[in-house]
């Protein structure tokens, strides 16, 4: 097959797939064993044979989850923005590493432009940043920057013989914090999880007590991470009381805005959810979550620290690859990163930014919040549904209320699984105060009020269906026949 024909064929497939994103079902679900038998991955097809290769592409798409389908309300990301998809195609086509200017000239300038734009938008002065592989990595790098700032010779000496460092997070913080504590040699016992109040926010009175305890025992409280939108409940830790504590205890204040950090695009929502963000030490935000850029796309920003990344990340002999810039300008972004090879994530961000603009992104986030308000109102109106906890922001934590003494957790698990397997909808789960919740996340531009109506209709119908089946099981054989 000629190269041109290959591309034509690919474009047809891409275009058909995009058109069918909204058609039912959102997944043709098979259990792993059945799917493996259906796919027959061991089969030799496509060896120097484009026709055979395209059958693999078709097979991949046939069983892929249509994350752009409005019934996919499962995760913090969903079908990607089309401008960023274009960016991804070009990125794959040009296959280069973002680590040096000579291999990625335009990407380097785009990433720098992104950093300038975002630093200004967030209000960080004399700052710096980088695009990382996501907020898990960004949280780790922020913790590392705080560690290295507090113990300036840790890069050379490690933590051997060093005073004990302690980090503090909201008890509902993302698990990447535990992983960071592990990777950075702190140990997860040195990650102190602060209990939350009724709104899912870190209790600053308890944080203050724990900070004082650590100091009394000879430890160093070096890092506090506020979460801007916790993973399950969507709670925002208040920054002002944390800033006051920082005055006293001199820790590094990081803000994990992986999910809820997207409010920075809207002045109104930023005032509501993230006042004083501009005073934090670092901030991470995922463009690939609420803002819809193709996975992965993240930015990590530092305040008042223009050269921290180089100081923290650089180690070893880089002379074979990196070149100095003119007048102190950073020429190669790889000098600021823990990776050598680095994917180009700047182009897809750039295309989204140019296409939607700040106003478009602000409107999107505001619209999602309105839809969440609408969804919560529907739950309140239905006698068969209940909110497990009141909504704090973008996460709607609800469940089906089974009648009588039917336990809610196994029932809702079954309900979710039934909806998934039948291709009706996929909704997330999580625990709040030990109770299972169905976590509805709206982060898909194809979701509108009718789609939310359909989603809850599906939940209620599935719940009723399960109850009817239980009724059948409990009924005597003769009644069942009747
Ligand atoms: C609050 C929070 N922080 C960090 C992360 C990790 O982000 P990523 O998937 O980009 O690594 C998540 C992911 O869901 C999250 O909810």
DSSP 3-state of 257: strand
Q: Name which of 160, 2, 100 is nearest 333 in CA terms.
A: 100
> Which of 135, 200, 260, 439 gets mutated to test ligand 1 (max ligand atoms within 8 A of its CB)?
135
What pLDDT shows up at residue 482?
Answer: 31
Q: Name which of 191, 158, 189, 190 is nearest 177 in CA terms.
A: 191
The predicted-structure confidence for 226-259, as pLDDT tens digits, reads as follows 999 999 999 999 999 999 999 999 999 999 999 9
- Prediction pTM value: 0.96
DSSP 8-41: HHHHHHHHHHHHGGGSSPS-----HHHHHHHH-T
> Which spans in 264-399 are helix H?
267-273, 308-313, 346-381
Residue 337 in contact with ligand 1 by CB distance below 6 A = no
Angstrom distance (rounded) from CA 381 to CA 389: 15
What pLDDT shows up at residue 376?
Answer: 98
Contact present, 199 and 406 (Cβ < 8 Å) = no
> Which ligand 1 atom is nearest residue 229's CA?
1
Residue 172 in contact with ligand 1 by CB distance below 6 A = no
475, pLDDT greater than 70? no
CA of 174 to the centre of ligand 1 (A): 6
What pLDDT shows up at residue 481?
Answer: 38
The predicted-structure confidence for 309-362, as pLDDT tens digits, reads as follows 999 999 999 999 999 888 778 999 999 999 999 999 999 999 999 999 999 999
DSSP 3-state of 467: helix
Calculate the dihedral angle through the C-alpha atoms of 365, 367, 373, 379, rounding to the nearest 10 degrees. Answer: -100
CA of 135 to the centre of ligand 1 (A): 5
Q: What does the DSSP 8-state code read for residue 127?
A: -
Q: What does the DSSP 8-state code read for residue 450?
A: H
Residue 261 in contact with ligand 1 by CB distance below 6 A = no
């Amino acid at each position: 097959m000629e190269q041109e024909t290959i591309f034509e064929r690919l474009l047809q497939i891409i275009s058909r797939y995009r058109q069918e994103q909204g058609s039912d079902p959102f997944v043709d679900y098979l259990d792993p064993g059945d799917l493996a038998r259906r796919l027959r991955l061991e089969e030799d097809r496509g060896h120097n044979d484009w026709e055979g290769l395209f059958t693999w592409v078709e097979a991949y798409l046939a069983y892929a989850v249509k994350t752009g389908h409005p019934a996919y309300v499962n995760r913090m990301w969903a079908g990607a923005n089309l401008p960023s998809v274009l960016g991804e195609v070009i990125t794959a086509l040009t296959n280069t590493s973002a680590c040096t200017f000579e291999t990625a000239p335009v990407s380097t300038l785009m990433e720098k432009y992104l950093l300038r734009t975002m630093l200004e938008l967030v209000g960080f002065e004399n700052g710096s940043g980088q695009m990382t592989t996501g907020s898990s990595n960004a949280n780790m790098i922020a913790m590392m920057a705080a560690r290295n700032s507090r113990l300036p010779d840790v890069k050379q000496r490690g933590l051997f013989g060093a005073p004990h460092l302690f980090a503090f997070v909201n008890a509902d913080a993302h698990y990447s914090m535990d992983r960071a504590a592990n990777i950075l040699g702190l140990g997860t016992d040195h990650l102190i999880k602060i209990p939350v109040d009724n709104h899912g926010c870190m209790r600053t009175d308890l944080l203050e007590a724990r900070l004082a305890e650590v100091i009394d025992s000879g430890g160093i409280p070096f890092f506090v991470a506020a979460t801007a939108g916790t993973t399950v409940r969507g709670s925002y830790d208040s920054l002002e009381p944390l800033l006051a504590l920082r005055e006293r205890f001199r820790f590094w204040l990081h803000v994990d805005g992986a999910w809820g950090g997207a409010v920075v695009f809207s002045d109104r929502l930023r005032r509501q959810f993230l006042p004083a963000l501009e005073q934090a030490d670092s901030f991470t935000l995922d463009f690939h979550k609420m803002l819809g850029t193709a996975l992965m796309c993240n930015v990590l920003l530092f305040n008042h620290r223009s050269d921290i990344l180089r100081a923290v990340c650089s180690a070893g002999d880089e002379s074979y690859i990196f070149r100095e810039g003119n007048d102190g300008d950073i020429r190669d972004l790889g000098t600021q990163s823990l990776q050598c090879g680095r994917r180009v994530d700047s182009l897809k961000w750039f295309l989204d930014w140019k296409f939607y603009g700040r106003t478009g992104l602000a409107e999107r986030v505001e619209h999602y919040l309105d839809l969440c308000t609408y969804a919560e109102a529907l739950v309140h109106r239905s006698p068969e549904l209940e909110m497990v906890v009141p909504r704090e922001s973008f996460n709607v934590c609800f469940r089906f209320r089974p009648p009588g003494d039917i336990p809610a957790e196994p029932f809702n698990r079954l309900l979710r699984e039934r909806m998934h397997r039948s291709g009706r909808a996929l909704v997330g789960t999580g625990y709040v105060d030990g109770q299972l919740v169905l976590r509805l996340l709206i982060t898909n531009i194809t979701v509108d009020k009718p789609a939310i109506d359909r989603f809850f209709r599906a939940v209620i119908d599935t719940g009723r269906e399960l109850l009817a089946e239980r009724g059948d099981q409990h009924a005597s054989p003769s009644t069942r026949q009747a």
